């Protein structure tokens, strides 16, 4: 009888707990929510599991203790319970989720950013991932005191920033606080997160298998990386084969410069004092593209610089090939062999390029290769 009573009591407690959760938030729409329980009060955040599925899967699986990627010490444990808000900056944000409590901890892995242009730091209560640079997300998160647009991954024109630059802040927004807004302001540094409880409303939320979604993210990321690497290798191989064929047919000048006209134009021959408008692409000797002025070339080599494209900087350049012009000697000498309309490849030895010291992103003693197209004579 005593055992029966204990079992009945346990069932009753569980049932009351479930009913209490439903009764506490009866007006929540369908979705996945995180309830942050603190001594200062409770905050409820809606999570964007459709727009940022991997990030939400990470957070949910950590909160529920179902994340299979964590270090052994954290397995089968509700990761956030008992951690603290280790970093609080007035009129900016509150940050938590670090198992070490000093800003240096993580769950045992890092994962990529997941940006959605519609999710912005445009309000108080924005929930986003804290990191130490692109692709270094773990368990740490923050909640803003106010709008903080400089943390968005997209600029004011809707263009993705150069997020791989560590000096540029790009953070994944994956939710927002919808209840307990006043609690955000009351949180002080080292206040404890007593619990993070996940609430699911509706079929989509209940079918969201966080551990599987997060694990699949790593599988897909690996597939994409391998595919990208294979494509890059194929492009470089084809580029090298093209240059080897051209070099075998190139004209060699006394200076050591080699050039080959790949497409003959019908314009005027350039002189030593010419100034021209030209497109270019410069490569390392191993076939890797360093830079180009032509969007079609960048696209063909899968090397588009989105920032350069957005700024409209894929355009021909003015080249002064006079004796005193500030261009490398091999480039000027190569252009002097050409006519307007010509397309050519220049094989420039390092002593006619950036020399023994290197420069402009070119390592010392680097032979380089230019593809050029003479568009117009300017003088």
Tell me the average pLDDT across 281-299.
Answer: 95
Tell which wins on pLDDT, 4 or 111.
111
Partners of 45 in beta bridges: 34, 177
Looking only at the bridges linking them, the beta strands covering 251-252 and 258-263 are antiparallel
pLDDT category at 221 given cuts 50, 70, 90 is confident
pLDDT for the residue 248? 96
Q: 378, 276 in Cβ contact below 8 A? A: yes
Q: How far apart are CA 148 and CA 226, in angstroms?
A: 35
Beta strands in 180-335 (DSSP E): 195-201, 251-252, 258-263, 275-284, 289-292, 317-320
The residue assigned the tokens 């909160």 is 63
Q: CA of 215: how far to CAs of 105, 145, 225, in Å? A: 21, 32, 16
pLDDT category at 16 given cuts 50, 70, 90 is very low
pLDDT for the residue 3? 56
Tell me the average pLDDT across 113-125.
Answer: 97
Looking only at the bridges linking them, the beta strands covering 173-179 and 41-47 are antiparallel
Partners of 284 in beta bridges: 368
Q: How far apart are CA 292 and CA 315, in angstroms?
A: 9
pLDDT for the residue 258? 98
Say if residue 210's pLDDT is above 80: yes
pTM score of the predicted model:
0.71
Residues 6+ positions from 195 with CB-CB distance below 8 Å: 35, 36, 37, 78, 80, 81
Q: What percent of the chain has pLDDT over 90?
A: 84
User: What digits encode the pLDDT tens for the residues 183-202?
Assistant: 999 999 999 999 999 999 99
Partners of 177 in beta bridges: 45
pLDDT for the residue 4? 55
Q: Which two tokens stand for residue 269?
A: 């021959």
Say if residue 22's pLDDT is above 50: no
Q: How far apart are CA 346 and CA 368, in angstroms?
A: 8
Say if residue 166's pLDDT is above 90: no
pLDDT category at 12 given cuts 50, 70, 90 is very low
Q: How far apart are CA 289 and CA 321, in angstroms?
A: 23
The number of C-alpha atoms within 13 Å of 335 and in the hemisphere containing its C-beta is: 31
pLDDT category at 2 given cuts 50, 70, 90 is low
Length of the chain equals 379
Q: 120, 131 in Cβ contact below 8 A? A: no
Q: How far apart are CA 32 and CA 161, in angstroms?
A: 29
pLDDT for the residue 310? 81
pLDDT for the residue 10? 46
pLDDT for the residue 360? 84
pLDDT for the residue 5? 52
Q: 369, 243 in Cβ contact below 8 A? A: yes
What is the 3-state secondary structure of 115-157?
A: CCCCCCCCCCCEEEECCCCCCCECCCEEEECCCCHHHCCECCC
Q: How far apart are CA 7 and CA 120, in angstroms?
A: 48
Tell which wins on pLDDT, 341 or 306.
341
pLDDT for the residue 169? 92
Mean pLDDT of the chain: 92
Partners of 260 in beta bridges: 345
C-alpha closest to that of 141 among 52, 250, 239? 52
User: What digits encode the pLDDT tens for the residues 232-285?
Assistant: 999 999 999 999 999 999 999 999 999 999 999 999 999 999 999 999 999 999
Q: 60, 210 in Cβ contact below 8 A? A: yes
Say if residue 112's pLDDT is above 80: yes
C-alpha 118, offset from chain centre: 16
Q: 287, 239 in Cβ contact below 8 A? A: yes
């Amino acid at each position: 009888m005593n055992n029966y009573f204990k079992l009945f009591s346990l069932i009753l407690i569980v049932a009351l707990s479930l009913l209490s959760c439903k009764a506490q938030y009866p007006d929540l729409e369908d979705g996945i929510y995180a309830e942050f329980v603190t001594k200062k009060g409770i905050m409820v955040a809606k999570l964007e599991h459709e727009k940022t599925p991997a990030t939400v899967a990470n957070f949910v699986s950590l909160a529920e203790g179902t994340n299979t990627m964590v270090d052994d010490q954290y397995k089968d444990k509700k990761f956030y319970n008992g951690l603290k808000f280790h970093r609080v900056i007035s009129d900016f944000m509150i940050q938590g989720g670090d198992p070490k409590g000093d800003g240096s901890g993580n769950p045992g892995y890092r994962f990529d950013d997941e940006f959605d242009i519609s999710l912005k730091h445009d309000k108080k209560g924005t929930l986003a991932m804290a990191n130490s640079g692109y692709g270094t997300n773990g368990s740490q998160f923050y909640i803003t005191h106010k709008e903080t647009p400089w943390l968005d991954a997209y600029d004011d024109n809707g263009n993705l920033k150069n997020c791989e630059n560590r000096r540029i802040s790009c953070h994944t927004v994956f939710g927002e606080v919808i209840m307990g807004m006043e609690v955000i302001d009351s949180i002080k540094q080292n206040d404890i997160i007593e619990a993070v409880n996940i609430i699911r409303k509706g079929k989509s939320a209940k079918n969201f298998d966080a551990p599987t979604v997060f694990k699949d993210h790593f599988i897909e990321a690996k597939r994409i990386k391998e595919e990208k690497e294979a494509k890059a290798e194929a492009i470089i191989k084809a580029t090298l084969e093209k240059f080897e064929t051209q070099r075998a047919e190139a004209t060699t000048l006394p200076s050591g410069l080699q050039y080959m006209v790949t497409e003959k134009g019908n314009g005027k021959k350039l002189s030593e004092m010419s100034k021209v408008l030209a497109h270019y692409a410069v490569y390392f000797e191993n076939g890797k593209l360093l830079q180009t002025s032509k969007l079609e070339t960048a696209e063909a080599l899968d090397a588009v610089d989105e920032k350069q494209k957005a700024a409209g900087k894929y355009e021909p350049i003015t080249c002064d090939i006079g004796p005193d012009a500030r261009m490398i000697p091999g480039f000027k000498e190569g252009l002097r062999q050409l006519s307007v309309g010509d397309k050519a490849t220049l094989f420039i030895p390092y002593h006619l390029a950036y020399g023994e010291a290197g420069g402009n992103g070119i390592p010392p003693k680097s032979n380089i290769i230019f593809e050029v197209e003479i568009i117009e004579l300017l003088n």
